[in-house]
Chain A
Amino acid sequence: MVDMSNSSQPRMHRRPFSVVTQTGFTEMAVICFVLLYAPLVPLVVYSFNAGSSLAFWEGFSFRWYVAAWNNEMVKDVTIRSVYLASVASVIATCLATLAALGTTRTKPYKGLTAIYAMINQPLMVPEIVTAVALLILFAGIKQATDYHGMAYLIIAHTAFCIPFAYLPIHARLEGMDLTLETAAADLYATPWQTFRRVTLPLAWPGILAGGILAFVISLDDVIITQLVKSPGQNTLPTYMLGQLRRVITPEVNAIASVLLAVSVVMVTIFFFLNRKNK
């Protein structure tokens, strides 16, 4: 008998293939990170400029943070943006959860692919097309009802947030162990109890991820908001865009830096929540 194990031993000790060990990987990764994050550095640095320029450094100060904080307009648009993003992302996440359940906890049926495509349609259609369509549709409704409230923006934002919330929830449900749900059903749990006690807790990290993603997407939307908004409905991004066309002061940098900090904090919270849940 030939001892195969002995002869193959040296080869077994070779490290398994890993993309990390390939030549050029580190360099490539560094270049990508620099391209992604380098532009943010001057943005944040100049938000602390004591002068009113984006090109000359005149010393360190919190002047522009104070200016932004005291700017009634900035306060007003920030509150509106956060309110809009909260309401839209909560509704979108609820709907996306239902949609994800409907497309995973069922036997494959005819038309499932079509439904899947329809749910993700806002990802495929160029935003400007959706924006123009909504502009025309809502203009008709606005004329007919004479209602100019936030509902239009909430509906529009909810609609384009759904696929962003849907994808992580769908992935989570897809990857879950179905035997747990079956076991619950075997133990006489009602469908609602099964959902409440088994499915929902297990899917929670996905739902949270979807919610956060939807919130961030809604928070920085410009094009659709610009065309749908009614009088008095400037949001933070549309306000900043208007600012850019005229006088740029580091106040915009300060606002942008705070937004950046908020998104970093949110991603970090999400990261820890997710880890705990695993």
Chain B
Amino acid sequence: MKWKLTAIATGLAFALSSGMAQAGSELNLFNWGNYTNPELLEKFEKETGIKIVVTDYDDNDSALAKVKVGGHGFDMAVPSSNYVPIWIQEGLLLEARPDQMSNFKNLEARWQDVDWDPGRRYSVPWQWGSVGMMVDTAVYNGDINTSSLIFDPPPELVGKINVAPEMGDVMGMVLRYIGSKPCTNDKAMLEKARDVLLAAKPKWRSMEYGVIEKIAAGDLAASLYWNGASFRARLQNPDIHYGYPREGYSLWMDSVVILKDAKNVENAKTFMNFIMEPENAALISAFARYANGVEGSVQYMPEDMATAPEVVIPAEFVDAGHFVPPCPPDVQKIYTAIWTELQK
């Protein structure tokens, strides 16, 4: 019995002491799982002497919930672009003014001022990408740069299509496909969008995540999916290509922000400035395989990334890409109704 009590006592003492050792040069980053390059952390620690601790989350909502109740202990988080306005409105973010930092000039011009964070007063790009068409060209060798592949599929693809279950991206894409725009409150257009989706649904096989393996192995022939995933599928199967729908497709960006109740504000600002350095930004991309938005980082990236058509958007399709704004509540309600009907 005695050894048991000793074990508990030691355990508790250890637990308490490990928590108390908070002070010192530290930084607590709350980021998506498997998204942070260990080499980046090592380099940061070596150059600044700040020890950085990463903790994982796996969706925007739970991260927001945890930070919102307070007492979380984090200094920084990496919300997606459509969530940043919510974080700002909830008063969770520190106005860190990255636009006044010395490396801000390294950001590509188009990321220096963005809709979800006008003037970049709160956030710095971590990684960005697009949602497009991932296609097995051995099955279908026609034009892949169109969203008609899933909304009005050619016979070769029928029954072999997957659609990522992302309401905002799918709704945005179908509205652009029928010539409208995301978050419209035009009832006729929304009705048309619903009809297109319901007519297309029987020709799809699934609406799920985790399709890289399936499409690479030939179980699926097309999917509405993310560019980085398509890139990895191509490395496994050279027939997999990524199309940018010319009717319009969604872009996304995950951005680094500092929390209002951060304990290590100065360290967090140092980190923000650090990742806008091209060489460091390249480390982020080399790990998770998405672009980072920092000018000149490409030359430090792995060879296969610098030229990948999934990462570097071909000039002719650049203008078709848009960020999905958070829709007003009344539109959101119609979106949800259509989405529920679609998932039946």
**Chain A residues packing against B (C-beta within 8 Å):** 52-56, 72-73, 83, 86-87, 90-91, 94, 135-136, 138-143, 146-151, 154, 226-227, 229-234, 238-239, 241-248
- Report the bound CA distance from A140 to B69 in whole Å: 8
Contact: B38 with A231, CB < 8 Å? Answer: no
CB distance from B8 to the nearest CB of A (A): 6
Q: Knowing A53-B213, A226-B62, A242-B58 touch, does A149 contact B19 (C-beta < 8 A)?
A: yes
Stretch at the interface among B49-57, B141-149, B245-253: B49-57
Stretch at the interface among B9-17, B103-111, B175-183, B273-281: B9-17
Q: Identify the closest chain A residue to B261 (Cβ).
A: A143
Is B74 positioned at the interface, with any CB of A under 8 Å from its CB? yes
For residue A229, which residue of chain B has the nearest CB?
B55
Contact size class for B? Answer: 35 or more
**Contact (Cβ within 8 A) B69 A136:** yes
List of A residues within 8 angstroms of B65 by Cβ: 135, 227
For residue A48, give the distance in angstroms from its CB to the closest CB of chain B.
16
Query: Chain A contacts of B57 at CB under 8 A?
Result: 226, 242
Q: B53 and A231: CB pair below 8 A?
A: yes
Contact B33 A230 (CB under 8 A): no
Q: A94-B4, A232-B28, A248-B212 are in contact. Are A149 and B16 (CB under 8 A)?
A: yes
B71 on the A face (CB < 8 A): yes
5 chain-A/chain-B pairs, Cβ below 8 angstroms: A91-B8, A142-B73, A151-B12, A226-B62, A241-B58
**Which residues of B have CB within 8 Å of A55?**
213-214, 216-217, 219, 236
Listed residue (B15, B62, B74) with the most chain A CB atoms within 10 angstroms of its CB: B15
- Does A230 contact B20, Cβ atoms closer than 8 Å? no
5 smallest CB-CB distances across A and B, nearest first, come from A242-B33, A149-B19, A142-B71, A231-B28, A55-B217
| Residue from A83, A233, A246 having most chain B Cβ neighbours under 10 A | A246
Contact A148 B33 (CB under 8 A): no
Residues of A with C-beta under 8 A to B55: 229-234
Cβ distance B262 to chain A, nearest Cβ, rounded Å: 11
B residues 193-212 near A (Cβ < 8 Å) are 209-210, 212
Say yes or no: is B32 at the interface (Cβ < 8 Å to chain A): yes
For A229, the chain B residues whose CB sits under 8 A away are 55
List residues 1-57 of chain B with CB under 8 A from any CB of chain A. Answer: 4, 7-8, 11-12, 14-20, 22, 28, 30, 32-35, 38, 53-57
User: Are A231 and B73 touching (Cβ within 8 A)?
Assistant: yes
CA distance A209 to B272 in the complex (A): 50
Cross-chain contact A90 with B8 (CB below 8 angstroms): yes
Give complex CA distance A234, B56 in Å.
Answer: 7
Closest to B232 in A: A247
Q: A242-B33, A248-B212 are in contact. List 8 more A-B contacts (CB 8 A).
A: A55-B214, A56-B216, A56-B236, A141-B71, A147-B19, A147-B20, A150-B19, A245-B34
- Find chain A residues with CB under 8 A from B54 CB: 232
CB neighbours of A142 from chain B (8 A)? 70-73
Is B66 an interface position by the 8 A CB rule? Answer: yes
Q: Closest residue of chain B to A46, judged by CB?
A: B213
Find out whether the CB atom of B15 lies under 8 angstroms from the CB atom of A87. Answer: yes
Residue of A91, A141, A231 ringed by the most chain B CB atoms within 10 A: A231
Specify which chain B residues have a CB less than 8 angstroms from the CB of A151 in the assembled complex: 12, 15-16, 19
Q: Return the contact of B7 from the options A90, A147, A239 (Cβ within 8 A).
A: A90
Give CA–CA (A140, B72) in the complex, Å. 10
